[in-house]
Amino acid sequence: MSSMMRVQWKVLLFMFLVIFSKAISDKLESRTSVPHDSPSYCLGWRVAVETNNVHGWRTVPSQCLLYVENYMLGGQYERDLDVIMEQISCYLKDIVLANDGMDAWILDVDDTCISNLYYYRGKRYGCDPYDPVGFKTWAMRGGSPAIPAVLGLFEKLIEGGFKVLLVTGREEETLGQATLDNLYNQGFIGYERLILRTSAYKGQSAVLYKSEIRKQLVGQGYRIWGNVGDQWSDLLGDCLGNRTFKLPNPMYFVP
Amino acid sequence: MSSMMRVQWKVLLFMFLVIFSKAISDKLESRTSVPHDSPSYCLGWRVAVETNNVHGWRTVPSQCLLYVENYMLGGQYERDLDVIMEQISCYLKDIVLANDGMDAWILDVDDTCISNLYYYRGKRYGCDPYDPVGFKTWAMRGGSPAIPAVLGLFEKLIEGGFKVLLVTGREEETLGQATLDNLYNQGFIGYERLILRTSAYKGQSAVLYKSEIRKQLVGQGYRIWGNVGDQWSDLLGDCLGNRTFKLPNPMYFVP
């Protein structure tokens, strides 16, 4: 290459870099204020909820009602579950169990094993505030359907030799029997224990209560390989387990 | 109401519940296998990355190249940043500073303060594997543009009286000056310290290295009110701070 050509080539490269870098920079700066009722806002809100960037939210922003309905019923919710189940399957392949009966896996119950979508439909997918009496009435009926992807995981874990521990914030006294029946009727059969909230933990935050339960389980010798829940309060605190997996739930937040 | 009407009403209600509950159940069970190159798969993958459900991934699935390009350039990336900045603003309102010079806030540098989007465009938005030499060459040029939303947060924090601590995994020896210049040229002026990786931390994982740095900062008396990064390795480990905020980054994973 002649030195003239080299110079021309460098000039061309420099011009390209300047123009391109300007284009990227313009792109980054074109922050028009997107209305809060746009699907892109609601997607941003949902991802912020899923990443635990939004804390202590009480209701779904009402302008996102249709977005959340479409997310839950339109297929993306199941798609997101499938992607997570694939990740869990990859992780499971590498686990070598001691087979001493202490290899454990924790699953949350509400909107992890069984779905309250039907109930929350009547609460405008979480746009209405939490209604403890209404929810208890619903839970006592014991009619929450299994979430198929998680039932599949549950069966895989049991076949694989894990002790499956179901840990829920539901009150043992009032919801114990209904929850047992509901899980049984939906095919959750063969788990090690269902741990419900006894009066000793009444009023405690889910993070504290579930941490305490997991500490006891680890104290009993269980090795918690995985911990799956739809709430960050399932997946924060102590003795979390070797891997945690956050399932989607844009409808409510449990503190 | 006559007793006949009451009975009819109950029958109608029962039938409605049966039909509706079947519809929900069918919905939950209609898990057709969605192809892995569909936008819904790539959205599911992105959300799984953002929630830390996918660990140690090396490249963006190549079928998601166009999806990630569109996410980064089509407006949703900025929209997601805006939603997070709104959450940070809400959180900031409730903080009462001691004003003793020890109220601190940690920001990561790469793809938190300044953007490497232009570089990653040349790496097919992360579909190509990590190229340490290529990235170092890029970083030494010092031409990464500010991410406007984060520059806005940075200015707000400094005005609000926080000591802003920039903590990065970039190597001090080779990238120190270029990073200082890059940040200055992009308007990041007035921060307390820029902490780069010294030889003592060479080869250490980001979680360990950043935990160690934060422990030292807390040992020096800093109260870490907030910690913002685009990688989970910024936001896991010790002395995390009172709140952490995960910024989106679907292009690469730092272990």
- Is the pLDDT reported for residue B19 higher than 90? no
Query: What is the distance between the alpha carbons of residues B65 and A11, in angstroms, rounded to a whole number?
Result: 31
Which chain B residues contact residue A20 at CB under 8 A?
118
Q: Which of B13, B53, B57, B81 to mutate to test the interface with A (most CBs of A within 10 A)?
A: B53
- Specify the pLDDT at position A99: 87
Which has more confidence, B36 or A224? Answer: A224
Residue A229 has pLDDT above 80, yes or no: yes
Nearest to B31 among A48, A78, A84 (CB): A78
Please indicate, yes or no, if residue B18 is contained in any of the structural domains. no
User: Are B147 and A115 in contact (CB < 8 Å)?
Assistant: no
Q: What is the ipTM of this complex?
A: 0.86
Amino acid, res. B9: W
pLDDT digits (tens, 9 = 90+) for A184-220: 999 999 999 999 999 999 999 999 999 999 999 999 9
The answer to whether residue B160 is domain-embedded is yes
Q: Are B250 and B126 in contact (CB under 8 A)?
A: yes
Mean pLDDT calculated for residue range B197-226:
98
Q: How far apart are CA A120 and CA A193, in angstroms?
A: 27
- Of the two residues B114 and B32, the one the predictor is more confident about is B114
The chain A residue lying nearest B29, using CA atoms, is A148
Q: Is B48 on the interface with A (CB under 8 A)?
A: yes
Task: Name the 3-class secondary structure at B27.
Answer: helix
Suggest the residue from B22, B51, B182, B234 to mutate for an interface test with chain A (most A CBs closer than 10 A). B51
pLDDT > 50? residue B28: no
A interface test, pick of B20, B28, B93, B144 with most A CB neighbours within 10 Å: B28
Dist CA B244 CA B229 (whole Å): 8
Q: Please give the average per-residue pLDDT across B113-136, as a whole number.
A: 98
pLDDT at A36: 80
From CA A224, how far away is CA A102, in angstroms rounded?
8
Q: Number of A:B CB contacts under 8 A?
A: 129
Does B188 have pLDDT greater than 90? yes
Residue B108 covered by a domain: yes
Q: Does A20 sit within 8 Å of B45, measured CB to CB?
A: no
Give yes or no for residue A72 having a pLDDT over 60: yes
pLDDT band at A9; cut points 50, 70, 90: low
As to burial, measured by CB atoms within 10 angstroms (0-12 exposed, 13-18 middle, 19+ buried), residue B50 is: buried
pLDDT at B69 over 50: yes
Question: Do A21 and B145 lie within an 8 Å CB cutoff?
Answer: yes
Q: CA A174 to CA A170: how far, in whole Å?
A: 8
Model confidence at B226: pLDDT above 60:
yes
pLDDT bracket for residue B35 (50, 70, 90): confident
Query: Chain A interface, mutation test: which of B43, B47, B86, B113, most A Cβ atoms within 10 Å?
Result: B47
Give the residue-averaged pLDDT of B116-135.
98
Task: Please provide residue B84's backbone torsions phi and psi, each rounded to the nearest 5 degrees.
Answer: -70, -40
The domain of A45 spans 39-246
Classify residue A137 by burial, with Cβ atoms within 10 Å: 0-12, 13-18, 19+. Answer: exposed
Tens-digit pLDDT profile for residues A143-184: 999 999 999 999 999 999 999 999 999 999 999 999 999 999
Beta pairing class for A163-171 and B193-197: unpaired
More confident residue, B128 or B99: B128
For residue range A50-61, what is the model confidence (pLDDT) as tens digits?
999 999 999 999
Q: Decide if A212 contacts A16 (C-beta within 8 A).
A: no
A contacts of B28 (beta carbons < 8 Å): 78, 115, 117, 145-148
Interface test with B, best of A73, A78, A116 (most B CBs within 10 A): A78
**Distance (Å) from the alpha carbon of B199 to chain A's nearest alpha carbon:** 30
CB-based contact B53 A87, cutoff 8 Å:
yes
Which chain B residues are Cβ-neighbours of A82 within 8 angstroms?
31, 34, 44
Mean pLDDT of B59-74: 97
Distance, CA of B108 to CA of B246 (rounded, Å): 11
Q: Indicate yes or no: CB of B75 within 8 angstroms of CB of A44.
A: no
Residue B180, amino acid: L
Q: What is the pLDDT of residue A28?
A: 45
Of A146, A154, A85, which Cα lies nearest the Cα of A117? A146
Rounded Cα–Cα distance for residues B38 and B45 (Å):
11
Tally of domains within chain A = 1
B/e letters for B78-94, b = 16+ CB within 10 Å, e = fewer, are: bbbbbbbbbbbeebbee
CB proximity B61 to A under 8 Å: no
Tell me B126's DSSP state: G
| pLDDT on residue B36 | 81
User: Is A55 in the B-facing interface, judged by CB distances under 8 Å?
Assistant: yes
Query: Would A126 be classed as within a structural domain?
Result: yes
Q: How far is CA B2 from the centre of its chain?
A: 62
Cα Rg of chain B (Å, integer): 24
Chain B's closest residue to A228, CA to CA, is B53
What confidence category does residue B6 fall into, taking pLDDT thresholds of 50, 70 and 90? low
Residue A10 in domain: no
A202 lies in some domain? yes
Tokens representing B11?
């029958």
Chain A's closest residue to B34, CA to CA, is A79
Give the pLDDT band of residue B99 (cuts 50, 70, 90): confident
Q: Which of A167, A71, A175, A185 is nearest to A132 (CA)?
A: A175
User: Percent of chain A at pLDDT above 70?
Assistant: 87
List CB contacts (< 8 A) between A84 and chain B.
48, 53
- The answer, yes or no, to whether residue A6 has pLDDT greater than 90, is no
The residues, any chain, with a CB within 8 Å of residue A255's CB and separated by 6 or more, are: A56, A205, A206, A207, A233
CB atoms within 10 A of CB B19: 9
CA distances from A231 to A248, B22, B73, B99 (A): 8, 26, 31, 35
In a domain, B207, yes or no: yes
Dihedral, CA atoms, A45, A111, A89, A218, nearest 10 degrees?
110
CA geometry: angle A138, A140, A141, nearest 5 deg: 70
| Cα B224 from Cα B106, distance rounded (Å) | 7
A177 lies in a domain?
Answer: yes
Residue spans of alpha helices (H) in A55-171: 65-73, 76-93, 117-121, 132-141, 148-159
**Could you tell me how far CA B76 lies from the centroid of its own chain?**
14
What's the pLDDT band for A32 if we cut at 50, 70, 90? very low
- CA distances to B189, B204, B226 from B211, rounded to whole Å, are 25, 11, 14
Nearest-Cα residue of chain A relative to residue B47: A47
Name residue, tokens 């806030």: B105
**Do the Cβ atoms of B24 and A121 come within 8 Å?**
yes
Residues of A in contact with B145 (CB under 8 A): 21, 24-25, 28
Sheet-wide strand order for B193-197: B193-197, B163-171, B103-107, B223-229, B243-246
Distance of CA B156 to the CA centre of its chain: 19
Residue B114's SS3 state is: strand
Give the per-residue pLDDT at B3: 54
pLDDT at B140 over 90: yes
Does A242 reach chain B within 8 Å, measured CB to CB? Answer: no
- Residue A37 confidence (pLDDT): 72
- What are the structure tokens assigned to B138, written together? 């890029």
CATH number for the domain harbouring residue B155:
3.40.50.1000
